[in-house]
Amino acid sequence: MSISFAEQIRIGIPDELPPMPPEEPGISHAPARLRVLSPDEEALALQNALRYFSPRLHARLAPEFAAELRRDGRIYMRRYRPAYPMRARPISEYPARCPEAAAIMLMIQNNLDPAVAQHPHELITYGGNGTVFQNWAQYLLTMRYLSELEPDQTLVLYSGHPLGVFPSHPDAPRLALTCGMVVPHHSSPQDYDRLAALGVTSYGQMTAGSFMYIGPQGIVHGTTITLLNAGRRYLGTDEARGLSGRLFVSSGLGGMSGAQAKAAVIAGAIGVIAEIDPVAVQKRHSQGWVMEVESDLDRLLLRIERARREARPVSIAYLGNVVDLWERLAREGVAVDLGSDQTSLHIPFSGGYYPAGLTLAQSREMMVADPAGFRERVQESLRRQVRAIQQLARRGMAFWDYGNAFLLEASRAGAEVRRADGSFCFPSYVEDIMGPMCFDFGFGPFRWVCTSGDPADLAATDEIAAAEIEEMARAAPPEIRRQMLDNLEWIHRAGENRLVVGSQARILYSDGPGRIRLGLAFNRAIREGRLRGPVVLGRDHHDVSGTDSPYRETADIRDGSKWCADMAVHNVIGDACRGATWVSLHNGGGVGFGEAINGGFGMVLTGSEACDRRIRSMLFWDVHNGVARRAWARHENARFACERALAAEPRLRLTLPHAADPELVQSALEGVRR
């Protein structure tokens, strides 16, 4: 007798051993991880895994899990991967006692959808190790708890492990979760490898572990904004021609990096993106996120020249090694206008970066069999890549670090990427573009998901958003009018750009007042019956207030506090106090374990007046916390945004800085040094 989807969710971990699920064709699998545990620690890892199951099953499961640990370096509990298709369903199909719990289940399944996730069978959404859960038992138990969750209870997750459901109250979050929150002194990449192998921590990246990933669309708007503003800043492009005929070169099509090709086309450029994994290339090509695929460098260079002559936007995946691409471009003197990199260099030796001269299979074998040798090959490739990039930069290419730890790992490899004062020779995209042009004003990657699963609901929210933005743009001060007009162009073209992969979701860079207006408008549309189901509001952790990361989100904070994580921690606490449906706090993100603290939220809108109150309170805090921090760091654009907020909200009080005369400061210091 077949069991329905709803019944399987309610069962959670079954009492009897399920059959081993079959392999699915076309699925990209995570590489084997380093075997870093001692014999005693391997025994501990196995004990940790077995505690999810009745002792009567241990004799069968122990050898199986031990084999997984030996083969994969992790215990994924592959036998417990569900038999039902993994995808976001309409919210009405989830067995739940409150709509908030059903919406969270929808978001979890979207993160594990094979069309969305990078390595779905290993529960990895993006970034090489951006983990939703550590194992399938955690997934099954979490989904069961959510199906039982009442409106006055809160589910707690420790790095994917469902600690339990606790009594709370209706205004408390329905879910509070953390990922990788390790004591700082034990928060190195090596510590992560050991703790993850033990099954006691996970790397949630940003929106993987917080269940807020919406496919590559989640970063495509930010990448488009970055490219457009890079053209304006570095190339002096005008609004008429934009990036027409301009060449952008980067790497990575696997997870969030998959947005680069689509963003290049939306921005009007020629985008060439290197990717070594044929499964990732095929996925993005079949989804329409990359237009053409080329594996021969001679033909690729001819195609680039034809694209320049035609001055038409095109995206081309180079199926091969990124170092080979950069070196060939440099050797042939190809005029590259804009360049970056989105390999997963937060895990350079565990599948995030593949060295030149080795195939994908050879690399995956060597990283486990000869980790020291593999490390040297990776670092040699990084040095070669930097040399080629520097050649092209001397000829006029503008290159930036995309916050993936490229410059950090290149410097650790011995590449010449630092100036005499210790700063990097290339900027982070946050330093020159995203920070001063977006974050300082409160603009960031706001997003929403239509839980009905109906494309008509998404189209309706696009229309609502366009009307609200158009009205805001007319009244916008000149300091932010360009951002508003870019947003208006984005939302008008969102449907034709075919951005949806997985859930019916949309990304839109919006400021604080804009997010509140959109949230209230969506909630009103639900209340009036113009939308068929609830809407989930959220954002990337890569946002104004969401992340403290000295190599990315806070790279442009120059008062010495870019190394401090007060903002991100306070943001999660404040969101939980003001009406978030779920909150998350993570160690890591795109730059690596121990290199950042980041957090996020989800808010389920049901059309109620209580949701209106939560929107006004929580979204205001969620943006202005970071804007106030940036203003205190003496950012003039952030001060401008704070003064607007103070004028609009009489209950707000902010501590704004007084500027000190640099000559007075130096004179005082010289006086005490004599």
User: What's the pLDDT score for residue 219?
Assistant: 82
Residue 63 dihedral angles phi and psi, to the nearest 5°: -65, -35
Cα 32 to chain centroid distance, Å, stands at: 23
pLDDT at 375 over 90: yes
pLDDT at 53 over 80: yes
Least Cα distance to 351 among 277, 278, 260, 407 occurs for: 277
User: What's the pLDDT score for residue 257?
Assistant: 61
User: What's the pLDDT score for residue 1?
Assistant: 62
- 3-class DSSP assignment, residue 603: strand
Average pLDDT in the 417-421 region?
93
Q: What are the structure tokens assigned to 17, written together?
A: 């051993």
Q: pLDDT tens digit string along 326-354? A: 999 999 999 999 999 999 888 899 888 99
**Mean of the per-residue pLDDT values of the chain:** 95
Average pLDDT in the 589-615 region?
95
User: What's the pLDDT score for residue 256?
Assistant: 63
**Stretch among 199-203, 214-218, 382-386, 622-626 having the lowest mean pLDDT:** 214-218
Higher pLDDT, 253 or 590: 253
Average pLDDT in the 72-81 region?
98
Residue found under tokens 């795109």? 590
User: What's the pLDDT score for residue 243?
Assistant: 95
Q: pLDDT tens digit string along 123-143? A: 999 988 999 999 999 999 999
Least Cα distance to 184 among 596, 462, 542 occurs for: 596
Cα 513 to chain centroid distance, Å, stands at: 24
* Residues whose CB falls within 8 Å of the CB of residue 250, separated by 6 or more in sequence, listed in order: 257, 260, 271, 272, 273, 274, 339, 340, 341, 342, 402
Sign for the pseudo-dihedral over CA of 347, 353, 358, 363: positive
User: What's the pLDDT score for residue 254?
Assistant: 75
Q: How many C-beta atoms lie closer than 10 Å to residue 194's C-beta?
A: 18
Q: pLDDT tens digit string along 520-576? A: 999 999 999 999 999 999 999 999 999 999 988 999 999 999 999 999 999 999 999
Q: pLDDT tens digit string along 446-486? A: 999 999 999 999 999 999 999 999 999 999 999 999 999 99
Average pLDDT in the 625-650 region?
98
Least Cα distance to 618 among 516, 509, 468, 510 occurs for: 516
Cα 218 to chain centroid distance, Å, stands at: 7
Least Cα distance to 469 among 496, 499, 493 occurs for: 493
Cα 131–Cα 137–Cα 142 angle in degrees, nearest 5: 75
Average pLDDT in the 582-592 region?
91
**What is d(CA 282, CA 500) in angstroms, rounded to the nearest whole number?**
17
* Residues whose CB falls within 8 Å of the CB of residue 367, separated by 6 or more in sequence, listed in order: 31, 32, 34, 349, 350, 351, 374
Domains of the chain: 5-198 (3.40.1770.10), 217-434 (3.40.50.10730), 438-564+597-648 (3.40.1770.10)
Least Cα distance to 559 among 642, 631, 637 occurs for: 631
Q: Among residues of the chain, what percentage have pLDDT more than 70?
A: 99
pLDDT at 28 over 70: yes
pLDDT at 432 over 90: no
Average pLDDT in the 134-153 region?
98
* DSSP structure class, residue 559: S
Q: Which residues face 604 on adjacent strands?
A: 536
Is residue 497 very low, low, confident or very high in pLDDT (cuts 50, 70, 90)? confident
Cα–Cα separations (whole angstroms), residue 291 to 219, 283, 540: 18, 12, 26
Cα–Cα separations (whole angstroms), residue 350 to 36, 37, 73: 12, 16, 11
Higher pLDDT, 603 or 217: 603
